[in-house]
Amino acid sequence: MEQYLKGVQRIAITDDEGNLTGVVSQWTIANYLATVPTEDKEWIPIMNTPVGDATHSSNVITAGANERTLDAFYKMYSNGLSALAIVDEAGKLFGNLSASDLRPYMMYLDDYNTLTRPVTEFLTEIRKEQGRKANFLVSFTRDVKVKDVINRFNKEIVHRGYIVDEEWKLIGAYSLTDLMQDLIADTHTISAFAKPIAERTPQQQQAK
């Protein structure tokens, strides 16, 4: 996880002879936390923490719904981001533009003028090819627990979501990188619990 925080996206796993046996990514860890049935996960403090109290970005850089798509991508690139929140004129969250949206663009669209149109029109075309609504995104209020956020990420196959208030005003963003930071911070807490838990008899654990 420390390597992911340095900007590494995927880590190769090899055997003793150096042969590639697999790849671990941030997504692999999130998928494990969302799908593997084990009570061990309940001892990870961040899992039961409200996402508003977890590590997250509060100063989210956004693009307006009427901004040109090319300008939005440039804003993303110049700020070293992989995604931008799209907000309407009232400041309400409309959708999400990510660097990965360029892949379906190259696959499905052959008109480069699409990049000169408002970003909402670009998203409409891309999401249509993906079978999703133009304003597709994952959002949640700040009181939702991180474990439920991870389940949403896994279900929708996304790497980030947005924290909103009751009026859909943007509060912050939570990503898999934020999750990695919190899991690292939890390490010392988990190790403090691990030995006493392991030494309990099944009856003691049940009583606890």
Cα separation, 33 vs 183, whole angstroms: 11
Q: Give Cβ neighbours of residue 81 (< 8 Å, ≥ 6 apart).
A: 61
**Number of domains the chain contains:** 1
Tokens of 150: 């991870």
Q: Give Cβ neighbours of residue 31 (< 8 Å, ≥ 6 apart).
A: 154
Residue 7 lies in a domain: yes
Residue 189 lies in a domain: yes
Considering only CA atoms, which of 136, 60, 131 is closest in space to residue 97?
136
Residue 28 lies in a domain: yes
Q: How confident is the model at residue 155 (pLDDT cuts 50, 70, 90)?
A: very high
Residue 202 lies in a domain: no
Q: Could you read off the pLDDT of 89-107 as tens digits, one per residue?
A: 888 999 999 988 887 666 6
Q: Could you read off the pLDDT of 121-133 as tens digits, one per residue?
A: 999 988 888 888 8
Residue 6 lies in a domain: yes
Residue 200 lies in a domain: no
Tokens of 201: 């008899």
Consecutive H or E run containing 193: helix 176-199
Cα separation, 142 vs 52, whole angstroms: 4
Cα separation, 99 vs 126, whole angstroms: 12
Residue 201 lies in a domain: no
Structural domain of 8: 2-194
Q: Could you read off the pLDDT of 163-184 as tens digits, one per residue?
A: 999 998 999 999 998 998 898 8
Q: In this structure, what CATH number is given to the domain that contains residue 182?
A: 3.10.580.10
Residue 10 lies in a domain: yes
